Homo-oligomer: A and B are copies of this chain.
Amino acid sequence: MQIKVMEGILDKNDQISAELQERFRQSGILILNLLGSPGCGKTTLLENTIKALKSKLSMAVIEGDLFTAKDAERIEQHGVPVVQINTGGGCHLDANMIRSALDCLDLTALDIIIIENVGNLVCPAEFNIGEDVKVTVLSITEGDDKPLKYPLIFKQASAVLLNKVDLLPYTNFDMQSAVGDITSIHPGVTLLQVSCQSGTGLEDWYNWLIEQARMKRARRASNV
């Protein structure tokens, strides 16, 4: 019974997600679903990314949160369009929430929409929201055992960012072990070691993102 209900919800969600993907296929806008635990550094990564790339890419952000607009307020200060979704306690964003949020954005001149999901390493991985790519952020302060404990979110990610590497000297995080586990769960995944505080590794992340946006536009061009 419980399982059937869950399948029902996921079916409906996948249907709306596919609708959104078709809409974005035509527009050529790259849709990125940004995932990770509470406090892994998603919002700070976004702030850095906007500062570095807003002159090169036309960006908008959708912020998912249980109750507050704290993250949207942070993003707004950087001068890009942002929509806050409050799930009212819900543990993930779904495709229907994204469809509604799009009404608040001018989609005519955008290159990329980054959707920051609810901070949660479990539930958001189960719900597609019309994205081209999922990106998972893991803070090294969370421990090197997390990829094997929460494999789905690493399996589904096109890129994994190991964040807060500036704190490596103060933790017992085993980078070799974590990298080994992530690449065994998802062979070929793009794996970047970054620090949003010191800036380490962020150039590689920006270049990856620019390339994803370029490929999305190229796919549209070949479709029309």
Chain A positions within 8 Å of B, measured between CB atoms, are: 2, 5, 9, 37-40, 65-68, 70, 89-91, 118-123, 126, 139, 141-143, 145-146, 148-152, 164, 166-167, 170-171
What's the number of copies of this chain in the assembled complex? 2
Q: Cβ of A149: which chain B residues have Cβ within 8 Å of it?
A: 38, 65-68, 70, 119
User: Which of A9, A68, A119 gathers the greatest number of chain B CB atoms within 10 Å?
Assistant: A119
The smallest beta-carbon distance between A74 and chain B, in angstroms, is: 9
Cross-chain contact B118 with A120 (CB below 8 angstroms): no
The smallest beta-carbon distance between A22 and chain B, in angstroms, is: 25
Q: Cβ of A118: which chain B residues have Cβ within 8 Å of it?
A: 122
The smallest beta-carbon distance between A124 and chain B, in angstroms, is: 10
Report Cα–Cα, A146/B68, bound state, in Å. 10
Cross-chain contact B121 with A122 (CB below 8 angstroms): no
| Chain B residue at minimal CB-CB distance from A40 | B142
| Chain B residue at minimal CB-CB distance from A89 | B152
Cross-chain contact B123 with A121 (CB below 8 angstroms): no
Q: Cβ of A142: which chain B residues have Cβ within 8 Å of it?
A: 37-40
User: Contacts A139-B39, A167-B167; is A68 near B148 (CB within 8 Å)?
Assistant: yes
